[in-house]
Amino acid sequence: MLAPTYLPEAKHALIADLAESLEPNALSWLSGYFAGVAQGRQAIKPAALSIAATTPPTSAGRLTILYGSQTGNAKRIAESLLERSTDQGLDVRLVRADQYSTRELRGEQLLYIVMSTQGDGEPPDDSIAFVEFLKSRRAPKLPQMKYAVLGLGDSSYPSFCGISQDLDARLAELGAQRLQEAGAADLDIETIAAPWQDTALVLAKEHLKPGAPTSATVTPLRAATAVTREHPFQAELLLDQSITGRGSDKDIRHLEISLEGSGLSYQPGDALGVWPVQDEQLVGAVIQALGLDGAAPIEHQGVTRSLQEWLGTYRELTVLTRPFLQAHATRAQSGTLDALFNAEQRSELAEYMAANQVLDALRNWPASWTAQDLVTALRPITPRMYSIASSQSTVDEEVHLTLANVAYEHEGETRWGVASRFLSQLEEGARLPIFIEENTRFRLPADPSRDIIMIGAGTGVAPYRAFIQARSDDGASGRNWLFFGNPHFSSDFLYQTEWQQAVKAGNLHRIDLAFSRDQEDKVYVQHRLIERAAEVYDWIQTGAHVYVCGDATHMARDVHQALIEIARDQGALDEEGARQWLDELAAQGRYARDVY
């Protein structure tokens, strides 16, 4: 609550908007800055204050850690590096890419970048502007800078860690000195990230003179909790209910999970992390295909477990990775498999990895594996993230999910996604390991009078259920407009009754639907946006926030292009001007995407 005694009411929304958009370290710095301004106004002339306030802060002797993150992994690694650097007595700051002033690059002495690559070589949403600036002719020469880059990616995509590699090369091209080779972390992030951080800290200490460890006191934004990604909470499954109708090609389920006793809290837009367990049938099939003993004890990185346990709880089996396939190729001695790794076969390799799992590769090209080598070569399992479909103001100590149960036939056998299989087979009352992943870039407007436009297809509608619940509970005066798409009205209109009730109650002011298979010509959400172009543009121009959630490869990309088309046609802009308009919305926090 802002104190009305000291802050004019007209400034409340402005300050709340600013506070919501900043990281804790930025908030801490800002509090000190404002305190200094307050003292300065008592001691110096306004003209002198104006000069001081516009002078860029010096970066000599300081480490800047800049990160770009789509799902929170790069942020987590960057925060870990910040904590370790602070413990070493280094002067260090942490900045999200979209909050970094590029004019500061000329003064940076030591810059560490931690950045993920999305899809096939695209930057995370919070880093688009920074990446474009650094690649442009406007980027300054940087002979004074020393730097290191850590990339996070997924080796199943052809452009693995492509963005971080581009940044690493571009900084060198601009004259900066590379301190260590760019790290390229696969989904088993710590395997690469941990030693990269170790080296980065040693190098930072060599180039910066450590001072005494800092001891700033910062009020936490939420209550401390023992539940983390590494130490999840065993939550009870309260409800598992199908929300697709008879005849649907999809199996979409609504899950309700208890948070009682966890101490966890979340906001609309956050994600729930779930640690899955492999299906015993799949584990058995992999062990059988290799003729191994599931009970055999395997020691790896100081931990001994049975092969069955390693594969069931700690290793990826439903995701085929390039490193594993390469390791398998050296054993299989197959010309056909080797050919997939030729440069000209890049698309064929990507297609094979997308369509097949570990078991398929073992069967397609038989080879000998020891249990020890198998455990070492397979990627560690990672948690799956789900957009939360509820607001705590409505459901209290619960969290709701919208789950697509991934299952399909492959060469006469059933294949599935590890997490959806795990969750769909749980009985109500069973326990599952969870944690909360904050998503500060996908937040409702701090000003409740702002309109919002929500665009999503399939399970991408999940966070909007949370948005409507929260806006209804808060009595927000801003209008809410939902664009939702799925194949069929009769079987795939997710949460249909709730949306209808929200419209009737005045909590959902507009809803446009795109059921792609209900007519000869396929209709998607981007088509509905174009049909409502004038009204969409008017909402945005009068302050609306735009949200996109769902498939990054097709839906989100098509929606992005539709918004550019709307800006071009309705705003009389050229292509470049329309793109800049959309980039500016993103920079203002008014165009947010939660895509996967």
Q: What pLDDT sits at residue 2? A: 40
Q: Is 447 a domain residue?
A: no
Q: What pLDDT sits at residue 224? A: 46
Q: What is the pTM of this model?
A: 0.80
Q: Name which of 336, 358, 379 is nearest 155 in CA terms.
A: 379
Q: What pLDDT sits at residue 45? A: 32
- Residue range of the domain that includes 37: 1-55
State the Cα–Cα distance between residues 440 and 448, nearest whole angstrom: 17
Pair of tokens at residue 45: 């002339």
Where are any strands of DSSP class E within 153-312?
Answer: 177-178, 183-185, 233-242, 252-258, 271-274, 297-300, 303-306
Q: What is the DSSP string of 96-115?
A: EGGG--GGGGGG-SEEEEEE
Q: Identify whether residues 402 and 540 lie together within a single domain.
A: no
Instruction: Assign residue 300 the CATH number of its domain.
Output: 1.20.990.10
User: Which residues lie across from 189 on neighbouring strands?
Assistant: none
The answer to whether 132 touches 160, Cβ cutoff 8 Å, is no
Where are any strands of DSSP class E within 233-368?
Answer: 233-242, 252-258, 271-274, 297-300, 303-306
Q: Identify whether residues 94 and 45 lie together within a single domain.
A: no
Q: At what angle do helices 555-570 and 533-541 cross, to 10 degrees?
A: 80
Q: Is 284 a domain residue?
A: no
Q: Is 283 a domain residue?
A: no
State the Cα–Cα distance between residues 327 and 372, nearest whole angstrom: 13
Q: Identify whether residues 126 and 202 lie together within a single domain.
A: yes
Q: Identify whether residues 366 and 389 lie together within a single domain.
A: no
Q: Which residues of 88-97 are buried (b: 16+ CB within 10 A; e: fewer)?
A: bebbbbbbbb
Q: Identify whether residues 580 and 463 lie together within a single domain.
A: yes
Sheet of 271-274, strand order: 384-387, 271-274, 431-437, 233-242, 252-258, 398-404
Q: Is 443 a domain residue?
A: no
Q: Is 166 a domain residue?
A: yes
How many alpha carbons lie under 13 Å from residue 121 in its C-beta half-sphere?
5
Q: What pLDDT sits at residue 215? A: 43
Q: Is 39 a domain residue?
A: yes
Q: Name which of 541, 536, 565 is nearest 453 in CA terms.
A: 536
Q: What angle do CA 271, 277, 279 make, to 5 degrees?
A: 130
Instruction: Assign residue 271 the CATH number of its domain.
Output: 2.40.30.10
Q: What pLDDT sits at residue 75? A: 94
* Whole-Å CA distances, 193 to 166, 335, 375: 18, 34, 20
Q: At what angle do helices 46-53 and 24-43 cross, to 10 degrees?
A: 160
Q: List Cβ neighbours of 453 (8 Å cut-off, separation of 6 or more).
A: 481, 483, 536, 539, 540, 544, 545, 546, 547
Q: Is 226 a domain residue?
A: no
Q: Identify whether residues 482 and 403 lie together within a single domain.
A: no
Q: What pLDDT sits at residue 291? A: 97
Q: Identify whether residues 262 and 395 lie together within a single domain.
A: yes
Pair of tokens at residue 267: 């906001």
Q: List Cβ neighbours of 506 (8 Å cut-off, separation of 6 or more).
A: none
Q: What pLDDT sits at residue 57? A: 43
Per-10-residue mean pLDDT, the chain, length 596:
40 54 51 45 32 40 93 92 94 94 94 90 89 92 96 83 94 97 90 94 88 44 68 97 94 97 97 98 97 97 97 96 93 92 81 94 97 96 96 97 94 94 96 96 96 98 98 97 97 97 98 96 97 98 97 93 97 95 93 93
Q: What pLDDT sits at residue 342? A: 85
Instruction: Assign residue 159 the CATH number of its domain.
Output: 3.40.50.360
Q: Identify whether residues 551 and 509 lie together within a single domain.
A: yes
Q: Which domain-ending residue is among 16, 37, 55? A: 55
Q: Identify whether residues 158 and 174 lie together within a single domain.
A: yes
Q: Is 219 a domain residue?
A: no
* Type of residue found at 371: A
Q: Identify whether residues 481 and 536 lie together within a single domain.
A: yes
Pair of tokens at residue 278: 């492999």
Q: How many domains does the chain have?
A: 5
Q: Identify whether residues 482 and 576 lie together within a single domain.
A: yes
State the Cα–Cα distance between residues 79 and 194, nearest whole angstrom: 13
State the Cα–Cα distance between residues 205 and 180, nearest whole angstrom: 14
Pair of tokens at residue 305: 């477990």
State the Cα–Cα distance between residues 462 and 494, nearest whole angstrom: 9
Phi, psi of 433 (to 5 degrees): -80, 120
* Whole-Å CA distances, 212 to 87, 91, 285, 296, 314: 9, 9, 56, 50, 40
Q: What pLDDT sits at residue 12? A: 47
Q: Identify whether residues 79 and 191 lie together within a single domain.
A: yes
CB atoms within 10 A of CB 320: 22
